[in-house]
Structure 1
Amino acid sequence: MANSIQAIRNVYDIAKGARDNGKSLTDEEIKDLLEKTVSDESLISKYPRFEKGYAAEDLFMRIFSLLPWVKSVVPLGQEQFPEKSKETLQISDYEITFEAGSEENTSCILVEVKLVGGDKQTYELQKYKYEVLKEYSTQKKEPLLFALFWKKQMIWTVNSIESFTEKSSSYKISYENAFKDDLSAIFGDYTYLFQRQCYRKSVFSNNNNVNTEFFHEHTQYGRTIYEGLSLDGKNFEQLCMLEPPLLDCAFDFKEISHKKISNSDTEIIEEFKKLPCVYKLSSLILAYLLKMYCLDKDSLYYKENIVVENSFGIVDTVRRKCGGEKYYLLPYNINRAATQLIEMQFGEVKRIFNIYRNTQRKEDHIIIASHESK
């Protein structure tokens, strides 16, 4: 069984590598590889399920490696020897090294990645699967967390087992509770809060010979030749060609002025239609990559390129230009694992740690703390 699962992983890696190189394998070619390398024939028909799980793991590694406090995300080999070792301990998917409390200090955490697909709003983990993962965590003396990708919402949450509800043979967690108890802030997964009105100026040209770096074309007014943002409606900061797509995927705008500025050029100024807006950094990166056609929503496949590699910088720059403020989403429930991790990351910032410990919990509320002292 172990060798067969490793063989399935190998086939997945080959298929992904072929797709990365623009030479995707056909279903028949993938099936042929599976039949030649997977000894347990009953697993071959389950390849699509394995494929989705592996794609979620790859996506986690890419997205979380972009977060500002993460030093490295290292995949841990799933093939174990001796073969019977998996009966007592299971190596987790990743080990993350990240800044802990300061730039000089680092810590390591083990992460097991799980995909919650379709319209599912709960994730259930069998107890025997948790126990073998926990045993590896105990031997490594590193905390174990679960990174859950809620596909319907396109959101990652990072949770400890304490946030799950214990059943007779399993642990179970809902999306609502997973989000409320999310621990991804320890990796620098900011929560951006947009409260200030922001103005967007767009200039379009119907001149067929216009020279512009922008991709977008207005159906009526022509190609985009300028994009800018302002927090006072007067002084605009210019955007580069990679920045406007984030505005399009994150915000709704309403037009407040419209004028011809030359025979060929039209200027439109818009403002946020709705305030406030709240986004997690990891969610904004995902939305941006979808908008830039760097991520396939169904298969979760992404291809490495300069946009993906620089997506955090693009997202955070646009956030600043929009007047977005950095906050940290803190766990709603106070438990042992959450307290240890929040204290490790924010313990020296008493203001943030006290918000976690002392804020009165109210139903349907989340706990957030500002990055800046206020």
Structure 2
Amino acid sequence: MSDMERAQLLHQLTKNFDVPPDMLERLHQQIVDPGIKGNLARIKSGLDVEDNYKSIFSALPWIKNINGMHQRQEEKYKAEYQVPDYTLLVEDSQKSRFSLLVEVKSVRGQKTACELMVKQKHALNNYARDNGMPLLIAIYWERLGYWTHNCLENFEGKKKNKITWDKAIMNDMSHLLSDYAYMVSKPFYRKTVFSQTVEEKGVRHKDYGAYHSSFVGLNPESLRESDVMESSVIDAIFQAKEISLIREGELTYLIEEFVSVPQMVKLNNWIVNFLGLWGASAQERGDLFSMTEVARILMVNLMHDMQGDVRYVLPTSKNKCTDRLIELAYKGTEVQHCYQNSN
């Protein structure tokens, strides 16, 4: 077992078990490669990003399986190949499935570009080519709270190994995983009722009291019943404008309008914001569903009711990789037709 594999196992161990500090230190000492031993914090951070990727994208309906590859290669093969982080099974427009390789990267802090090591780029490409599967680089842009999926052919620079955040977004292929965007073109409304008498611990407004109930809709005179989870979904991405505040006894009625329209909302960005609002881990689960899946269902239902239009934002720079992926995902559909006829 290589030291990198030991570091990966140690990461999984500390995430799933309460490991005593002395035992953890003994395990650390068994990693001897100074390049790995001295970078365990950075490696752990990268593995956390991979775990978040799996939790967020496994919540999407067109992804039928995400399998971690774990990169347990014999050393003699590593000069030519690098095993990507995940294989995915994705449902296409014909309700069939195709396989996809994904390598996960993150861009920390205020950095604006993702740069691959040239050797790594070629080794990943070799693995995808010789296994006959398309490859995407999944990039988490920390400053934006936003994931993109990009073809290696869209990387630029002298060595064709660098992509900036704006080029990554313009050539994002995430929609083929059902990570599409919504165009919200109409204002919508929320009425929230707060109570001064509710004593139970829960969601509270610092001025109006405890959350009592809520209602949402396109017309302030005709709102459907909502709940606190859906309200947090709304607050995670939309800006509110207060239009009415009425106090009646112990109850306060707040009516807000969400008017920043037209607005394009990306599903993965929305889920990331939602988790941040709750201070929750992407790995958190309830009895039946993960928190990311609950969020996705609430978001899709809200957009249906608020008449948000699904948009498949097509790449601005077409190449053999994007051609192949569009064919696999959207063969015979209007999406493929639009792609083929785009500049």
> TM exceeds 0.5?
yes
Give the alignment of 1:347-366 within 5 angstroms.
Answer: 347-349=331-333, 351-360=334-343
Q: Among residues 171, 178, 187, which one is paired with 2:177 in the alignment?
A: 187
Q: Among residues 265, 279, 284, which one is paired with 1:303 in the alignment?
A: 284
- Cα-to-partner distance string for 1:45-95 (whole Å, 9 max, x where unaligned): 2011101111111111111111111000100131113x2111111211110
Letter in 2 for 1:62: S
**Within the alignment, does 1:77 sit opposite 2:73 as a pair?**
no
Please name the residue that 1:93 is paired with. 85
Deviation at 1:129, TM superposition (A): 1.1
Please name the residue that 2:214 is paired with. 227
What count of residue pairs does the alignment treat as equivalent? 340
Deviation at 1:320, TM superposition (A): 2.5
**Within the alignment, does 1:247 sit opposite 2:234 as a pair?**
yes
Please name the residue that 1:319 is paired with. 303
- Cα-to-partner distance string for 1:215-265 (whole Å, 9 max, x where unaligned): 3212222111111111122111111232111111211111112223x3111
Alpha-carbon distance between aligned partners in 1 of 2:60 and 2:125, rounded to the nearest angstrom: 26
Alpha-carbon distance between aligned partners in 2 of 1:246 and 1:304, rounded to the nearest angstrom: 17
Please name the residue that 1:263 is paired with. 249
**Within the alignment, does 1:55 sit opposite 2:39 as a pair?**
no
Alpha-carbon distance between aligned partners in 2 of 1:34 and 1:139, rounded to the nearest angstrom: 36
Please name the residue that 1:124 is paired with. 115
Q: Percent of aligned positions with the same letter in both sequences?
A: 27
Alpha-carbon distance between aligned partners in 1 of 2:161 and 2:269, rounded to the nearest angstrom: 25
Please name the residue that 1:330 is paired with. 314
**RMSD in angstroms over aligned alpha carbons?**
2.0
Please name the residue that 1:370 is paired with. none
- Between 1:39-48 and 1:49-58, the stretch displaced more is 39-48
Q: Where does structure 2 lack aligned partners over 5 or more consecutive residues? A: none
Please name the residue that 1:275 is paired with. 261
Q: Where does structure 1 lack aligned partners over 5 or more consecutive residues? A: 296-300, 361-374
Alpha-carbon distance between aligned partners in 1 of 2:19 and 2:279, rounded to the nearest angstrom: 17
Alpha-carbon distance between aligned partners in 1 of 2:252 and 2:109, rounded to the nearest angstrom: 43
Deviation at 1:25, TM superposition (A): 6.4
Deviation at 1:15, TM superposition (A): 1.3
Alpha-carbon distance between aligned partners in 2 of 1:340 and 1:31, rounded to the nearest angstrom: 48
TM-score (norm 1): 0.85
- Between 1:192-201 and 1:285-294, the stretch displaced more is 285-294
Deviation at 1:166, TM superposition (A): 4.5
4+ residue stretches of structure 1 with deviation over 6 A?
A: none
Deviation at 1:102, TM superposition (A): 2.1
Deviation at 1:29, TM superposition (A): 6.0
Q: Among residues 66, 70, 79, which one is paired with 2:59 in the alignment?
A: 66
TM-score (norm 2): 0.93
Q: CA 1:24 to 1:315, structure 2 compared with 1: closer, same or farther past 3 Å?
A: farther
